[in-house]
Chain A
């Protein structure tokens, strides 16, 4: 079987120590044994083990945030998940086993043949690792470190430990604590001072290379004046039963550095996607989150920037598309902590069928600061009569010469627009697609080309059959 080949190749590269396939199954449920098991498998230092065990305690002690968040969280049965599963445990699948409708989706998305195979869980590790290795060679010349978090911990503990869990403390929320206890996979990136990485670094391949990445942990550090763009491809639909994806992503942009982080999330509609993402921007640094959520059953994700240094800038551009049975609870956090910091949030959501999209945001400007600015715009589009949207921003402003503006609007595609397009020979579905794409167009333009093309197609797909 192809899948076995993939494992063989991995074993050759020596990244993992597979003795038997089953050894990497930590079993069902979450307890100290599971956490110790993960630490054992990864041969981690004692401080990491202690960190994980402490996180587990915190996780157990924290209640679900259902006093403000959806009650759907109560449907997560933490005891029924597998918290560490090696590749060997992934359902082995060949292209022929992939359901026809999924194949069709891939074809219409225009995903290349090689990636299609990867997306379906076939040959994923083999292909991605190869691509990843090539990139690493190019970058190594500039001193850029781009490795998995496990490798990062082992080979670069001096940098890793300095920044690890500093932007998002373990006890930040229940799910960051969970991640801290069982994290595995994710990226560790360090860009040395003044290095501008021209090509975007892609996590598309890597996350899947190391198990499922359900609890991946990413740490990106851009040293002074460095620039880096990182693209995260959870574009992969997954086909497992109800599952939980709970990542923690920490970005550190030192003085004058620029980090751009792009996510296109398209999990299958049985995934709970509960992700904590936060950045720290030092003096004159710039952090931009581009976040696009199309898949999952429930996504709760509020990328944030702590504007720590003078004239730092934070930006979140967010697109959410919620179809039947989906709840996209997304937003942004901007914590101003220095003078003359500026932040911008633009969020657009589309609710189709019984989909529900929620914007939740926080803008905080404390006392003693001067000249801080925030602009927030959130627009929601409701397609069907039973679609739903909510907006819950929270804005706190103190200090001197700070200004904040927040605007939100809710609308539907006007009957006139649809009529105009249909009169020119379009079907109602096509007309609706065009109108919806127009609604998000100014944001989509900011995405890298291949992602914006893909996004447009995904929207077309979702919109089909949404009317009439």
Chain B
């Protein structure tokens, strides 16, 4: 591997040569995977770039998507490796952790023997593709994206080569979180992080994905996909921290599939990227499920955070609840577009969707498209969206006590976010999220 961190500036992601280059670098991919990648690359090339006419891109600033000098990232040198591994401690204690830089494995803190003996698999994808091909052939990119980023999902499938496979067998409970830490390094690098969590029946697990750039001033292209499977009675808690550099362009697709009586809780924290597109699809496959989907976003300067969600209820007697809270500073922009889709067969569904936007600047812009498509009649569904400013009286209270406007705003934003943060059971993780918000305020 090359000791020098460079990025091939000649190649653009839209050119044919990128995929050839990718195949040249990774000659040892299993045939089934190579086949899938070839197909996806063709799909990527044939699908159109998002445009404003597409309903799934409404309000989005689609200019500049998919173009740019981004190219496949090269390997990074040994010194950076150690430095980045040292900077990867933040989420706190863990049961296992993988650290990636430009999709290369930098550090592997494996599971305890006890967990391995129970049959838990926690493996970087680069080795899992051959070692656990049975699982991957069944689950890897098995869910088609259809919330608008089909083109970028295809690109991910074509160029993804690493990430995390977590497989938890029946009845196994893992108390501490499993962490996958992705770094993007060097200017114009394109990275494709992947996470696949499979919790078999009655398994319990907490997984944390953290995405960030090694340098705040660099620009990258990140296209991440995460998929969660919760078997019957399983409990999956998932945290997703998007903190790429603020010049970056990022896509993130999360799919959560809940089988009978399972419980899924997802927490998203959006802080980074110049433009970020988050798509979250929760699919209720079995009765008795409970899916809770939370997200906090803090945007500043000219950041644009585009969030699209869907709650698909295919089975009766299930519940889903979504709460997305956005705080907007400066001339930043957020888009929340959500849809609750209740199939005919999904009677006795309870589904809720709430989007709350807090405008902290007269130039900020919040867009909200909370949608419902209900095909069953015996359901309780509601959505609510509000957009407003900080309460003047509360602000006055602070000012009267000598607390400046900026500090008061911050405190009120923490209060606004706390509704979500207090739902996190693991205090270390909750504290981690709070720290991230603090840091963002300090830098803004």
A412 to B377, CA, bound (A): 6
Segment among A4-12, A397-405, A429-437 that sits at the interface with chain B: A397-405
Q: Does A392 contact B (CB under 8 A)?
A: yes
- A42 nearest CB across to chain B (Å): 36
Q: Does B54 contact A (CB under 8 A)?
A: yes
Contacts of B363 in A (CB 8 A): 367, 398
Q: Are the C-beta atoms of B381 and A67 separated by less than 8 Å?
A: no
Contacts of A394 in B (CB 8 A): 58-59, 367-369
- Residue from the list B362, B369, B371 in contact with A400, Cβ < 8 A: B362
Q: Are the C-beta atoms of A367 and B372 separated by less than 8 Å?
A: no
* B359-394 to A contact mask, C-beta < 8 Å, 1/0: 100111111111111111111111111111100000
- B438 nearest CB across to chain A (Å): 27
Q: Are the C-beta atoms of A395 and B367 separated by less than 8 Å?
A: yes
Q: Are the C-beta atoms of B369 and A382 separated by less than 8 Å?
A: no
Q: Are the C-beta atoms of A390 and B364 separated by less than 8 Å?
A: no
Contacts of B303 in A (CB 8 A): none
A382 to B389, CA, bound (A): 35
Q: Are the C-beta atoms of A393 and B380 separated by less than 8 Å?
A: no
Using CB atoms, name the residue of chain A closest to B359.
A397
Question: Known contacts A390-B373, A393-B370, A399-B362: does B384 contact A408 (CB below 8 Å)?
Answer: yes
A383 to B384, CA, bound (A): 23
Q: Are the C-beta atoms of B384 and A405 separated by less than 8 Å?
A: yes
Contacts of B381 in A (CB 8 A): 409-410
Q: Are the C-beta atoms of B54 and A67 separated by less than 8 Å?
A: yes
A91 to B384, CA, bound (A): 49
- Residue from the list B54, B357, B374 in contact with A397, Cβ < 8 A: B357
- A435 nearest CB across to chain B (Å): 13
Say whether chain A's binding surface is mostly helix, strand, loop, or mixed.
strand
CB contacts under 8 Å to B, within A86-127, are none
Question: Known contacts A367-B363, A398-B364: does B377 contact A408 (CB below 8 Å)?
Answer: no
- Residue from the list B364, B377, B384 in contact with A406, Cβ < 8 A: B384
Q: Are the C-beta atoms of A387 and B377 separated by less than 8 Å?
A: yes
Band of interface residues on A: 35 or more
A382 to B348, CA, bound (A): 13
Q: Does B439 contact A (CB under 8 A)?
A: no
Q: Are the C-beta atoms of A406 and B386 separated by less than 8 Å?
A: yes
Using CB atoms, name the residue of chain A closest to B387.
A397
Chain B: interface residue total (CB-CB under 8 A) = 37
Q: Does A202 contact B (CB under 8 A)?
A: no
Using CB atoms, name the residue of chain B closest to A384.
B377
Q: Does B132 contact A (CB under 8 A)?
A: no
Q: Are the C-beta atoms of A380 and B388 separated by less than 8 Å?
A: no
A450 to B131, CA, bound (A): 76
Q: Are the C-beta atoms of A388 and B357 separated by less than 8 Å?
A: no
Contacts of B384 in A (CB 8 A): 405-408
A255 to B362, CA, bound (A): 28
Q: Does A241 contact B (CB under 8 A)?
A: no
Q: Are the C-beta atoms of A410 and B374 separated by less than 8 Å?
A: yes
Contacts of B380 in A (CB 8 A): 409-411
Contacts of B357 in A (CB 8 A): 397
A403 to B377, CA, bound (A): 32
Q: Are the C-beta atoms of A382 and B374 separated by less than 8 Å?
A: yes
Contacts of A392 in B (CB 8 A): 369, 371
Q: Does B344 contact A (CB under 8 A)?
A: yes
Question: Which A residues have a C-beta under 8 Å from some C-beta of B?
Answer: 67-68, 351, 367-368, 380, 382-412
* Between-chain CB contacts (< 8 Å), 23 pairs: A351-B377, A367-B362, A380-B372, A382-B379, A386-B377, A391-B371, A391-B372, A393-B371, A393-B385, A395-B366, A395-B367, A396-B59, A397-B366, A398-B363, A401-B389, A402-B359, A402-B387, A402-B389, A404-B387, A407-B384, A410-B374, A410-B381, A411-B380
With A395-B366, A404-B385 given, name 11 new contacts (CB 8 A).
A367-B362, A389-B373, A390-B373, A395-B385, A397-B368, A397-B387, A398-B359, A398-B366, A404-B386, A405-B385, A410-B372
Nearest 4 A/B pairs, CB to CB: A382-B377, A400-B362, A403-B388, A391-B372
